[in-house]
Amino acid sequence: MQITELQNYKVVKSNDIIQKSRFNLQLQEQKIILYLISKIKPTDIELKEHTFLIKEFCQVCGLDDDNGANYKYIRQTLKNLRDKSIWVTLDDGLETLFAWIDTVKMDKQTGQVIIKISDMLKPYLLHLKEHYTQYELLYTLAMKSQYSIRLYELLKSYEYQHKKLFKIRDLKRLLFAENYTRFPDFKRKVLDIALREINNLSDLNVTYIAIKQGRKFEEIEFRITIKNNLDEKMTTWTKINEIIDS
């Protein structure tokens, strides 16, 4: 699938579900959810069942669409996704647990998959007039770290501020990376990999500084700029295409 075609796939989410949620999804699980969200039309008044071919999804996500094992792989990934949930903090401070998807139907003969996103997510995906984030799906497709996609979304939602300060413990919590208790490990295995992919494969340029309080790193400040230069955009699209094609 060509870059020009992928640019038509837009992901639109309320900032609340980006900034106030916690979830632990593997890389392909995240890509499936984003792919489904990109199928939602601005005119939709309900979350509908979406039908797509496994072959089409493989092409979009850079998987080998001629590999017969992909049906089994996608089937297991969808089962895992159906069994997982997302914590969302509501305005009253309560954390509420939502399912990602309501139903999954698969037809092995036709290679079709029919999925319906959970109706609980409707307020965060439909009729968004303000406080939302929109980006092109293609900017997540070549990423290979589950933390890259999640951090990209977070930073994209704060793009208009040009910078964002996080307490490290809060950022770890949002990324579901609390198992990296030592900052050097968090920096090496989460931050540096994610920022390299974001800078190389998305529409953002991001830098950060880690801030100490006493002898311990406690905060991280990100500086966020959008790639407006056409040459820079072309370079990014070329890198995405190369990774997906390979």
At residue 4, the pLDDT reads 66
Q: Which CATH architecture describes the domain 142-246?
A: Orthogonal Bundle (1.10)
Burial call 16-25: b when 16+ CB within 10 Å, e when fewer? bbbbbbebeb
Is residue 88 within 8 A of residue 98, CB to CB? The reply is yes
Q: What is the pLDDT of residue 73?
A: 82
Domain locations in the chain as residue ranges: 1-138, 142-246
Q: At what angle do helices 168-175 and 146-157 cross, to 10 degrees?
A: 120
- Give the 3-state secondary structure of residue 34: helix
Establish whether domains 1-138 and 142-246 are of one fold.
yes
Given the structure tokens 């933390």, which residue do they identify? 147
How far apart CA 20 and CA 72 sit, in angstroms, is 33
Give the CATH fold of the 1-138 domain.
Arc Repressor Mutant, subunit A (1.10.10)
40 within 8 A of 47, measured Cβ to Cβ: yes
Exposed / middle / buried, residue 41 (Cβ in 10 Å: 0-12, 13-18, 19+): exposed
- Which distant-in-sequence residues (6+ apart) come within 8 Å of 221 by Cβ? 163, 164, 165, 166, 208, 209, 211
pLDDT in tens, the chain (246 residues): 556 677 788 999 999 999 999 999 999 899 999 999 999 998 999 999 988 888 887 777 766 666 667 778 888 888 999 999 999 988 888 899 999 999 999 988 888 899 999 999 999 999 999 999 999 999 999 999 999 999 999 999 999 999 999 999 999 999 999 999 999 999 999 999 999 999 999 999 999 999 999 989 999 999 999 999 999 999 999 999 888 877
pLDDT score of 135: 96
